[in-house]
Each structure stands twice: as structure tokens, then as C-alpha cells.
Amino acid sequence: MRAPLLLMVAVAAVAASAAEQDFRSKLFLDEPADPCYEDNAQLRPRRCIPDFVNAAFKRTVLASSTCGAVPTRYCESTGGKAEACQVCDANQAKLAHPATHLTDLNNPNNLTCWRSEPMQAHPYGYQDNVTLVLSLDKTYELTYISLQFCARRFKPDSMAIYKSVDYGNTWQAFQFYSSTCRKDYGKAPRANITKANEQEALCVDVHRADFGSNSVAARVAFSTLEGRPSAADFDNSPVLQDWVTATDIKVVFNRLQPPQQTPRVEPVADDALSSNLLTPLNESDQAGDRFSSFYHYAVSDLAVGGRCKCNGHASKCLPSARDNGQLLCDCRHNTAGRDCEKCKQFHFDRPWGRATLKDANECKACNCNNHARGCRFNMELYKLSGRVSGGICLKCRHFTAGRHCHYCREGYYRDNTKPITNRKACKPCGCHPIGSSGKTCNQTSGQCPCKDGVTGTTCNRCAKDYIQSRSHIAPCIRAPMTSGYDLGSQADTGTAAAAAAVAKDQCGACPAAAKRLNMNKYCRKDFGKNFS
């Protein structure tokens, strides 16, 4: 009984293992359907886009000013009352406030802040320019840019956001913020956007001289499409598609507080003044230096929401195996390029286009009948074809020619026993160099153009009643005959014999009965005789 029992246990274990393996296979190993194609047997292409991400996360930010190069005291305040003062020191991790804190994990329970150096006093307020430059290392289509300021800190009164589409070589204004828009940026606050100026940067006055509360940090959020008339039809608006495209973002803080008409000194609590609030530490104890400790920029989070730009032809971006692992679109629809911005090689039968919900604009392969490895696009031919085909094959092989390599080139003809896609679809004409009047033969039959008196597909023999001569100009001449005589009549036997003798003398060594042209039969001196 023990043996059958063990066998049953073993069979059950094998079945369970197979079921588990099948479950794991279905759960983990089965590849999901490609989002760029309809989930059916025909694999019909459709628009696909990468996931929405914070493109700034873990990216490098270059700041023109960061506290801590020299240990520096900074203070946080609400309504001019000193709350707390601490030291910024780049050499101590717990006291440092580097620019990496702008794009690290934004944890509300443990906010990290980047802080600029304290600003110097100005006769009409505290004023300084500080710049943050964020490189995305890839083209993105942006939805928003958000700046979260540290709690108990000023929001800047004047700041500008710029974008670059060429990795920082040139910059374009994206958005302005100021209480004096006309003076700072030459723009009216809250200007209207129409379809004629959808790429114009706006200036917004949001009265940013207030403080964030102790618990809630102040935030500035810029929506790239808000108020743009064509936003509802984004797929068909190249202007807005270009507007939201960026490779780099630059934030320029121009002024922390509104400009004052007269010099002022903010009231500071006595306990704050009694403390050594020098900036940097161990310098002279002056009221201006004390107060500058409060005037610095402090940002806890820089977020850039958007999608990796793939023009609707990829569902994800992947790091490259080379080029330092830079992001590349995983292109579909026969497209290529870092942003799927062009058709891949040999797929130029229609112009490249951005994928939309209505049309995936898949690139089509050129029709070269397997006889070419390259092609190019011609817009005129595309229009003439009713926008169906515009490809022109380049360097047709296998002795073919034509826009589609669809016929045989000069000196060759079609072998109708083979399809046009066969590499041996074209056969050499083989026209006789003496008997033919040219090298081009009929594309269908292969018949070469023969000289007078010459026959055969390749013009390689004399026609009936013609004999070979010694001339390459007239290789076949009519056979000599004596008119008025019947060579078969006995009455004229002598005369016929004489005529034959004359013909023999005149023809020399050329055999009258030869049919095929012989290259070795021609004399060096070309001539021909007419017989009547």
C-alpha cells in the first residue's frame, strides 16, 4: 500500500508544480500587448504615449548661488518676527542645503530645502538675481512647472521661467511673475492669449511678498496650456506642440520683495538682534548684515510634469546602451530618432507625421520589389498619386530600373517564368555585336533589333535567302542569283555552272550555305557586293 500511496503523492506534486509554473508564466512571463497597436491579429497601429512623470526627479540642477561655501547664518521669520536661526554649512551634510534637494523625493513630513546665499542690502530694498538651471537630458512635452518654497519663507516678488529646446544653447520665455510686470518685463499683467499669439509668455501679478504659513509652504505652479485657445485640439496644433516642448528649464529669481520708494529697515525682534546673526559668521556686527540673514531664496521642491516626447510613436523611453545611458524613445510605427521624429531607413513611401487619435501615421516601406536597399521621398509624386505613394527607389540591383525597380534596365529583359521580386527576374539580352543594331531588346520577348537580312532572337544568323558577308555593316547579304536563268534546267546547265563559278570567285572563302554569323569569318577590310 505504501508504494501506490507514494506514487499518488508524487503525481499530485508534479501536477501542483505544473499548475504553479503555468500560473507564474501567465502572471509574470507573458508579454503585455503593445500599446502602439490594436490588440488584434492585424496589429493595426494606433497612437501611443509614454507615462506621465515628474521629469525633474533626480535630475541635476545648477544654482548660481547656494549657501554654505562659508558657514553662514540664516533665519526664518513670519511677519518680520524672528522665529529661528540656523547655520548653513556645505561641508556638513546635516547643515547643507544643496541644489540636489530641489529634485529629491518630496516628503511632506521631511522637507529638504535648497537655500541661496543671503542677499546684500540695496538702497531700495533687498534685491539680487539667482538662477536655477534644470537639464532634462531629453525632449519632453510639459504640462506644468511647480516651485514649492520652504515654510516660513518669502515667495519671490519677481521671477521668470524660461525653456530651451536645444539643450541650453538658446532660451525662450515661458512665464513671468511680478508685481510690476510692465517695468520688469514690458508686459501687461494677465494679457489675453489668442490663436495669433499662443506662444507668448504671460506675466502674472500674484502679490508674492507674503509669507508661507508655518505648516503649509507657498507654491507657484505654471500650467503650460492654461488659457491657450488650441489646447482642446492639441493633436492638430503644431504651434502648441512646439510651445510645450523643452529640453531644459531655467528659473530666474529677480527680486524677493516688492521695490520700495524709500529706504527701509524692517523691525527685528530684540532677541534676534541680541544674537550673533552675522552673515557670514564672525564678521562685523552690523544691523544690515543681521537683517540680510532673513533675505534669501529657499525652495524645497522643483517639479516638472510631462511626458517623454515621442510624437505618438512610442509608449516608453528607455536608457540607451551607449551615450552614457541617455533616454531614447522606444520607437514603433517604423519610426526612428531619439524622439521618433523621422521614418526609419527604407520607410519613406509617405511623409513622416505625428500620430493622432485618428491616424497613427505609420511610416510605410518603399516598394522596390526586393531590388533596392534605399529610397527617398518625393512630395510631388506623393500628391500625384492621391497621397498614396511617394517613394523613389535608389540604386536598383539585379539589373532592374525604374522608380520601383519594376522593369529591367537596358540590355536586359524580363524572364516571365519568375516573379519581378526574384533576383533573377531580368535576363541579359545577349544581342549579337555584329548582327544587331543595338544592345536593347524587347522587355517582354527579349527580341534584339536585327540588321537587314539578319534574324534570330539575338540576331545571330542570316535570314532565308541571305548569306554571310565579310562586312560588319551588312553582315548578311542576299544570296547571288542570275536573273532569267533556271538553275534546274538542263538546257541552261552550262550557263548555270558558269554563274555558280562566278559567284564562287566573287564570294571568296565565305560559304554560301552558312547560317550562323561567325566572328572569325570577317575580313579586315570591310566591303559588300550587290548582285543583280
pLDDT tens for 432-486 read: 999 999 889 998 899 999 999 999 999 999 999 999 988 889 999 998 875 544 4
Please determine, for residue 87, whether its predicted confidence score (pLDDT) is greater than 60.
Answer: yes
Residue 501: the pLDDT is: 52
The continuous run of DSSP H or E covering 466 comes out as strand 466-468
Residue 124: the pLDDT is: 52
3-class secondary structure, 381: helix
Q: Where in the chain is the domain with CATH 2.60.120.260?
A: 59-308
CB 153 within 8 A of CB 235: no
Mean pLDDT lowest for which of 61-75, 79-93, 160-174?
79-93
Rg (CA), the chain: 44
Residue 257: the pLDDT is: 77
Alpha-carbon distance of 532 to 528, in angstroms, equals 13
Any idea which residue has 539578319 for its cell? Answer: 454
Reading the block at residue 45, the C-alpha cell is 497601429
- Please state the rounded mean pLDDT for residues 69-79: 78
* Confidence band for 29, pLDDT divided at 50, 70 and 90: very low
Show Cβ contacts of residue 531 under 8 Å, excluding neighbours closer than 6 positions: 477, 478, 480, 481, 503, 506
Residue 296: the pLDDT is: 87
Beta strand extents in 93-218 (DSSP E only):
114-115, 121-122, 125-126, 130-149, 158-164, 172-178, 202-204
* Confidence band for 48, pLDDT divided at 50, 70 and 90: very high
Query: Nearest Cα to 299, choosing from 215, 220, 206?
Result: 220
Please determine, for residue 26, whether its predicted confidence score (pLDDT) is greater than 80.
Answer: no
Residue 283: the pLDDT is: 46
Residue 41: the pLDDT is: 62
Q: What digits encode the pLDDT tens for the residues 471-529? A: 889 999 998 875 544 433 443 444 444 445 545 555 555 554 445 666 555 544 444 44
Please compute, for residue 440, the number of CA atoms within 13 A of its CA located in the half-sphere on the CB side.
Answer: 4
Length reported for the chain: 532
What's the gap between Cα 343 and its chain centre?
7
Alpha-carbon distance of 482 to 501, in angstroms, equals 12
Residue 205: the pLDDT is: 82
Residue 31: the pLDDT is: 53
Distances in Å between the alpha carbon of 501 and those of 92, 248, 505, 530?
Answer: 124, 101, 6, 17
* Confidence band for 32, pLDDT divided at 50, 70 and 90: low
CB 217 within 8 A of CB 244: no
Provide the percentage of residues in the chain whose pLDDT is more than 90: 59
> Which one has a higher pLDDT value, 35 or 123?
35
CB-neighbour burial class of residue 484 (10 A; exposed 0-12, middle 13-18, buried 19+): exposed
CB 432 within 8 A of CB 420: no
CB 126 within 8 A of CB 292: yes
Residue 290: the pLDDT is: 52
CB 141 within 8 A of CB 309: yes
Distances in Å between the alpha carbon of 141 and those of 174, 194, 306, 307, 375?
Answer: 13, 21, 5, 5, 32
Alpha-carbon distance of 198 to 526, in angstroms, equals 83
Mean pLDDT lowest for which of 59-68, 328-337, 463-472?
463-472
Residue 289: the pLDDT is: 54
Q: Is the pTM for the entire model greater than 0.85?
A: no
- Please state the rounded mean pLDDT for residues 155-173: 94
- Please state the rounded mean pLDDT for residues 55-76: 91
CB 379 within 8 A of CB 390: yes
Residue 527: the pLDDT is: 42
Q: What digits encode the pLDDT tens for the residues 423-433? A: 999 999 999 99
Residue 526: the pLDDT is: 44
Beta strand extents in 333-399 (DSSP E only):
335-336, 342-343, 374-377, 391-394
Query: Nearest Cα to 128, choosing from 117, 136, 144?
Result: 117
Residue 6: the pLDDT is: 44
Please determine, for residue 300, whether its predicted confidence score (pLDDT) is greater than 90.
Answer: yes
Per DSSP, helices labelled H in 163-320 are: 181-185, 238-243, 270-274, 287-292
DSSP 514: -
Please determine, for residue 249, whether its predicted confidence score (pLDDT) is greater than 90.
Answer: yes
Right CATH for 59-308 from 1.10.3720.10, 1.20.1730.10, 1.10.1200.10, 2.60.120.260: 2.60.120.260
What's the chain's average pLDDT? 80
